[in-house]
Chain A
Amino acid sequence: MTDISTSDGAPRKGSLLQQDARTQKRNAAERRFQIYGIIAVSVAVLALIFLLSSIVRNGIGAFSQTFITLDVVLAEDKLDKTGNRDRDEMAKVSTFGYSPLIKAAIEDRIAAEGIEIEGLSKPADLISKQAAADLRDFVLANTDRVGDTVEFKFLASGRIDGYYKGRVTMASAELDRNISPEQLMLADALMEAGALERTFNWDFITAPDASENRPEASGLGVAILGSFYMMIVVLFLALPIGVAASIYLEEFAPKNRLTDLIEVNISNLAAVPSIVFGILGLAIFINFAGLPQSAPIVGGLVLTLMTLPTIIIATRASLKSVPPSIREAALGVGASKMQTVFHHVLPLAAPGILTGTIIGLAQALGETAPLLLIGMVAFVREYPAAPPEGFFDPASALPVQIYNWTTRSDPAFVERASGAIIVLLLFLLMMNLVAIILRRRFERRW
């Protein structure tokens, strides 16, 4: 304690290997700090593990689905009363007219398998309501098959599917108005007979959204397309505008009050809540410019505004990190200012720019709030057309679809929402991975 304050050059007492009290105190402080750090990291890791495991546990079921295979008799007297196979005339039979065929098909199957369950009612409830629509589409596309018996693989209803995923139990079915324990027994019997099977569900990725009566049929197709279109718009607008703005500000613009003001504003813009961009988008793009509602073009424009500051800041940082010696060397051998920038500075800054762009895109991909106001939080079943017309068609977006599904009453949508989160996370992971790879491969250090 006192040996330093005396500071008269008195020789240190005791062994050098023995730490004195002050050193011990310093070392203890360092160890404590390390422990704090480890605690902080492990809290973060635990939170992440908890989040991911709960999402995966809830959502992994969305990627598989229970299907039921049935032989359906396409009865002529029901589907084509006149018998002349005129498509327009047959289109008058609505999906409600197809339900009896499906009902007959499952009853036939039950009889053929010799399944007898006491108290069983409405066996057709095992099949998704989507089935009638699938059947109608098939018949209208193949009018010549009317009268035949065709094998179909229908979706099983959401409750039956939930039974095999552990969401529905015999006890809960007892209380559930939409399913009875007898129907579950029938499902088990059909499973044994091989009519029911659970397979990977591509439709979850490709199919459009479905209404609340048929959660089993809903998919992410429209949402993925909509998100993809928006990302295209953002990439093709935000990258050139952002890069051009940063090059000008960084390399050409005089340093004065005006550019300082712009600089401060860009930094501020990056911190503006995203919903503000939605309000702006509604006022400018929809009400003033007259662009359509719920369209990816408007979503893309709004997200472009949101992403621009991120890209500009990243681009300026990577332009700044190119050493002045490169510029001076280029100018020294007679290059013009512009040649210097485009031939030497920009290529060297490109990896940083791309990384910033991809991170900005990933941020835009996960954004919901601004889309709320421009009508993209909607039930959309039609796929948007191919670009460029498709940019103006209504579409949904991935984060919006997640939000939509979490608000629905059927418990099956909880699983769908978690499944959609997994898909969104995979996309984000992929984008970040690309950013890391680009940086690793092309980054130059001086």
Chain B
Amino acid sequence: MLNAKLTVSTVAIFAVSATAAAARDQVQVAGSSTVLPYASIVAEAFGENFDFPTPVVESGGSSAGLKRFCEGVGENTLDIANASRKIREGEVAACADAGVTDIIEVRIGYDGIVFASQINGPAFTAFTEDQWYMALAEQVYMDGELKANPFTMWNEIDPSLPATDIQAFIPGTKHGTREVFEEKVLLVGCEASGAMEGMMSAGLDEDAAEDACMSVRTDGRSVDIDGDYTETLARIDANSNGVGVFGLAFYENNTDKLKVATMSGVAPSTETISTGEYPVSRPLYFYIKAAHIGVIPGLKEFAQFFVADEIAGPDGPLAEYGLVSDPVLADTQMMIEAEETMGSGS
């Protein structure tokens, strides 16, 4: 009986305190694991410098973050979604269906995608997009027809590359990075090598040709990494012939273990990415729920602080970690100041 009473009373206590729980006072952020380190650096500095509590930053991927962001308006929903790609139209529509109509889009800067291998491994120092296409495509276009990728060694593709087995570690399909890799490396390489043109003249329509360009071989020479870059690094550590795809920030924190290759002759660095010379980069975003501004304390201040010059500028802590700062940061700052939502302004 004692136990039964206790159970009832604990349940009652919890029920009461659940209703008494005060309004949320910290900003909730979730989304892309690429943006996570930047968001946590900003959250930490925000907590130190303002009287607002430190925002809570979750990871989980761009798509998962945006999905939760679009669940609706209210205290139990996210305030900010981080994304390593632009929000899709379908996601905007899903948001609108749930009542999230006013979204502020903030571009925080750019992230480079680099190709790196073991520092003491074979001399992978220069790549071009078409070499990657030839190395990783499921089917390559040769002698007027599509055939299963015959290449097993890098030097079969180009004699300037080392004579080692092809072994690539690329981000898995749940990562936003994969999309960039496919579009900016495989597709570009496919076009550059003339394979795309060949396929289309052979009767494939454009979409089918693009799909063929971006499909990756599945015979084990290319390995999808669904975890984080730490997993890719561990694979490279264990396999001296391996070449991995990393974010610039990750590479810059592990320059003592990895050596980076140039892409089409351009070495990746914050400078070459900000000028657009280095081809494989993408913008990073976060999305703010405008309806929460003024309801969740510190939300607007956090967003402003995120893109402030001292944080996201070229000398700020984000650039130090590996973010390529946005040359038009001032516009973004003004946009947040004016709470300009998507579709209303530009």
**A173 / chain B contacts, CB cutoff of 8 Å:** 256
Interface: A2 (CB within 8 A): no
Binary interface profile of B, 24-48, with partner A (CB < 8 Å = 1, else 0)? 1010101001001101110111011
Interface size class of A (residues with CB under 8 A): 35 or more
**Is there contact, CB below 8 Å, between A378 and B57?**
yes
Q: How many angstroms from the CA of A289 to the CA of B14 in the assembled complex?
A: 12
Interface size class of B (residues with CB under 8 A): 35 or more
**Is there contact, CB below 8 Å, between A211 and B41?**
yes
**A106 / chain B contacts, CB cutoff of 8 Å:** none
- Interface 9-mer from B90-98, B218-226, B246-254, B280-288: B246-254
**Is there contact, CB below 8 Å, between A210 and B44?**
yes
**Is there contact, CB below 8 Å, between B49 and A95?**
yes
Interface: B341 (CB within 8 A): no
**Is there contact, CB below 8 Å, between B56 and A407?**
no
**Is there contact, CB below 8 Å, between A212 and B321?**
yes
- Interface 9-mer from B1-9, B157-165, B202-210, B330-338: B1-9
Most chain B beta-carbon neighbours within 10 Å: one of A293, A379, A388: A379
Interface: A237 (CB within 8 A): yes
Interface: A89 (CB within 8 A): no
B-contacting residues, A156-202, CB 8 Å: 168, 172-173, 175-178
**A411 / chain B contacts, CB cutoff of 8 Å:** 253-254
**Is there contact, CB below 8 Å, between A175 and B43?**
no
Q: How many angstroms from the CA of A297 to the CA of B15 in the assembled complex?
A: 11
Closest to A92 in B: B49
Q: Given A211-B44, A244-B3, A377-B58, check contact A407 B33 (CB 8 Å).
A: yes
Interface: A96 (CB within 8 A): yes
- Interface 9-mer from B105-113, B143-151, B227-235: B227-235
**Is there contact, CB below 8 Å, between A292 and B21?**
yes
Closest to B16 in A: A388
Closest to A391 in B: B17
Interface: B76 (CB within 8 A): yes
**Is there contact, CB below 8 Å, between B255 and A177?**
yes
Interface: B271 (CB within 8 A): no
Interface: A129 (CB within 8 A): yes
**Is there contact, CB below 8 Å, between A406 and B230?**
yes
Interface: A54 (CB within 8 A): no
**Is there contact, CB below 8 Å, between A213 and B254?**
no
Q: Given A244-B7, A407-B33, A409-B229, check contact A379 B17 (CB 8 Å).
A: no
Q: How many angstroms from the CA of A381 to the CA of B47 in the assembled complex?
A: 8
Interface: A281 (CB within 8 A): no
**Is there contact, CB below 8 Å, between B119 and A175?**
yes
The distance from the CB of B262 to the nearest CB of chain A, in whole angstroms, is 17
Q: Given A212-B321, A392-B21, check contact A176 B255 (CB 8 Å).
A: yes
**Is there contact, CB below 8 Å, between A394 and B26?**
yes
Interface: B122 (CB within 8 A): no
**Is there contact, CB below 8 Å, between B227 and A407?**
yes
The distance from the CB of A354 to the nearest CB of chain B, in whole angstroms, is 14
Interface residues of A (CB under 8 A from B): 91, 94-96, 129, 133, 136-137, 168, 172-173, 175-178, 210-214, 236-237, 240-241, 243-244, 247, 286-287, 289-294, 297, 338, 342, 375, 377-382, 388-389, 391-392, 394, 404, 406-411
Since A129-B317, A211-B44, A378-B30 are in contact, a sample of 7 more A-B pairs with Cβ atoms closer than 8 Å, ordered by chain A residue number, is A95-B45, A175-B256, A236-B10, A289-B18, A291-B18, A375-B58, A409-B254
Give 8 nearest A-B pairs by CB, closest first. A381-B54, A172-B256, A379-B57, A378-B58, A379-B40, A211-B41, A240-B7, A407-B228
